[in-house]
Amino acid sequence: MKCRYCSCTESRVVDSRPTEDGTAIRRRRECANCGRRFTTYEKIEEIPILVVKRDGSREAFDSNKILAGVRKACEKRPVSSLEQNKLVDDVSREISNTLEQEVTSIDIGELVMKHLRDLDEVAYVRFASVYRSFKDINTFMQELKSLLGDSEKKAAEAEKQHRLKQTEDAKL
């Protein structure tokens, strides 16, 4: 790190602490040549991610667009803002973790639906109906049947786990 007073490249870190929002590290440094102190900030360099839309156009990834869609789907549902924000953070993290510079809007929509399905089934159906642009009642019914089938599978698995636990408890 170059000293801003004498341009010496030798300095030592006197103090390090995270910033209030936790997105950077604040470092107090002391120049080895002139002894003056200065502050630097270290933060992670974000690689911009482009979203490839259905029409082939590209735009910068914006998690606020996901949040707006999730908020609309969860309107008048018992899903807190905290849960909605966590869903958006999880989706954004998954997208960033792919290390790809481009992601399709289709992939983003599928990720959001996967998380919404676990969070609230009605919000999931609302989001899916807009996202998948159901053309008629039959495609809508297919999606509902799929959702019901998954719910029945989860219930059966939970019942199986409950019976196993009861059996283990009885043996003790």
Percent of the chain with pLDDT over 90: 54
Write down the pLDDT at residue 151: 62
* Tokens (6 digits) for 34: 């002139």
172 vs 62, higher pLDDT: 62
What's the mean pLDDT when you consider all of the chain?
86
| Across 40-49, 115-124, 148-157, least confident range | 148-157
pLDDT higher than threshold 70 for residue 120: yes
* Each residue's pLDDT tens digit, 40-97: 999 887 778 999 998 999 999 999 999 999 999 999 999 999 999 999 999 999 998 8
Write down the pLDDT at residue 150: 67
Contacts of 108 (CB under 8 A, 6+ apart): 51, 66, 91, 95
**Which pLDDT band, with edges at 50, 70 and 90, does 171 fall under?**
confident
What's the whole-model pTM score?
Answer: 0.58
> Within 10 Å of residue 93's Cβ, how many Cβ atoms?
10
Write down the pLDDT at residue 17: 94
Q: Please give the Cα distance from 35 to 156 (Å, whole number).
A: 70
Span 9-13, average pLDDT: 95
Q: Please give the Cα distance from 50 to 81 (Å, whole number).
A: 26
Write down the pLDDT at residue 130: 77
Write down the pLDDT at residue 86: 94
Q: What CA–CA distances, in Å, run from 93 to 7, 87, 88, 97?
A: 39, 10, 8, 6
Q: Where are the domains of the chain?
A: 11-43, 50-141
